[in-house]
């Protein structure tokens, strides 16, 4: 009497079919259709790991869902809700280079007299986290209509541009671009207008706008449409000089352009990821050095 063959994963199930890759017996529950015959679950997984993952023209993994854009919008909205509950969040976490805070919580300009009861705040007070936290806050509703329009316009822009840029760059490169653009905007605010309290995601969004233009040129897209888009972005840069912070917008635009140039023109070989990461790291170091130098100048070298 011939021996009964069973599935290697389910010893109690009688099986008569072998995996075409490992030649082990498999039951119907473990069968996966292959180009020839059937394969077991483990061989299918092993084969999937050996297949080269599809990449975009800029080296990112292809993703169908703009997850990072969703998360960024969610964080901005949550931060705005926090402002509604506790308005002091803006003054505590907004981008500020140098200011003074009194014992009653009042805020004073840096060049005001420095009695012992006033304490440094902002980056001059060691609050370096403001370089990024300010990019997730927006004008409070108490500032009239623009207070509400500020976050609405930015989130609509992030939704429109972010999805396109994320699809081309992949999640990791896209997140690095967004954060470095926000960082670059904050650093230019520090360098030019350190006493201004600045909030808003506009610097990061301007960085995405620069990325959109650079990628379009690299891919050979219809530049008439792209140039009209950039013309509108630059027009808003001029208009924003009287409404929000043109320094943050320009800083984000420049940082985003530098990062995306590295993404777009890095050699398309095994060195590409290394070159792209190296440029991002170098830009981050440069921004940190500029921040340290400015804060040291403001505080007399005590930063």
- For residues 30-54, give the mean pLDDT: 77
* DSSP per-residue letters across 70-96: HHHHHHHHHHHHHHHH-THHHHHHSB-
The single residue listed with the structure tokens 């509400």 is: 148
> In this structure, what token pair is assigned to residue 264?
């777009």
User: CA dist 87 to 62, 92, 303, Å?
Assistant: 40, 9, 29
What would the pLDDT profile of 247-303 be if each residue is shown by its tens digit?
999 999 999 999 999 999 998 888 999 999 999 999 999 999 999 999 999 888 655
pLDDT of 166 > 90? The answer is yes
Q: Among 20, 39, 43, which residue's Cα sits nearest to residue 31?
A: 39
What is the band of 113 on the pLDDT scale with cuts at 50, 70, 90?
low
Q: What is the pTM of this model?
A: 0.80
- Going along the chain from its start, the domains and CATH numbers come out as 1-43 (no CATH), 67-299 (1.20.1540.10)
Residue 146: phi and psi, rounded to 5, are -65, -25
Of residues 178 and 301, more confidently modeled: 178
Give the pLDDT of residue 21: 84
């Amino acid at each position: 009497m011939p021996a009964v063959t069973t599935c290697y994963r389910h010893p109690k199930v009688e099986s008569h079919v072998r995996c075409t890759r490992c030649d082990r017996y498999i039951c119907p529950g473990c069968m996966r259709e292959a180009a020839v015959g059937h394969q077991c679950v483990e061989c299918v997984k092993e084969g999937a790991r050996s297949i080269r993952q599809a990449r975009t023209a800029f080296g990112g993994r292809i993703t169908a869902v703009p997850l990072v854009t969703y998360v960024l919008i969610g964080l901005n909205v949550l931060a705005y809700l926090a402002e509604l509950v506790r308005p002091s969040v803006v003054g505590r976490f907004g981008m500020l280079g140098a200011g003074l805070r009194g014992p009653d919580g009042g805020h004073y300009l840096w060049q005001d007299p420095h009695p012992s009861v006033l304490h440094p705040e902002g980056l001059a007070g060691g609050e370096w986290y403001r370089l990024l936290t300010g990019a997730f806050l927006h004008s409070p509703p108490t500032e009239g209509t623009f207070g509400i329009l500020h976050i609405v316009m930015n989130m609509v822009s992030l939704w429109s541009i972010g999805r396109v840029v994320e699809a081309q760059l992949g999640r990791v490169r896209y997140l690095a671009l967004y954060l470095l653009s926000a960082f670059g905007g904050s650093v230019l605010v520090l360098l030019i207008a350190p006493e201004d309290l600045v909030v808003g995601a506009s610097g990061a969004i301007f960085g995405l706008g620069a990325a959109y233009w650079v990628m379009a040129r690299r891919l050979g897209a219809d530049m008439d449409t792209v140039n009209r888009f950039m013309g509108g972005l630059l027009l808003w840069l001029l208009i924003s000089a009287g409404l929000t912070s043109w320094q943050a917008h320009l800083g984000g635009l420049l940082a985003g352009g530098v990062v995306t140039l590295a993404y777009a023109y890095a050699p398309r070989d095994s060195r590409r990821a290394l070159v792209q990461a190296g440029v991002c790291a170098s830009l981050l170091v440069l921004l940190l050095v500029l921040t340290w130098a400015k804060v040291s100048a403001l505080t007399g070298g005590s930063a």
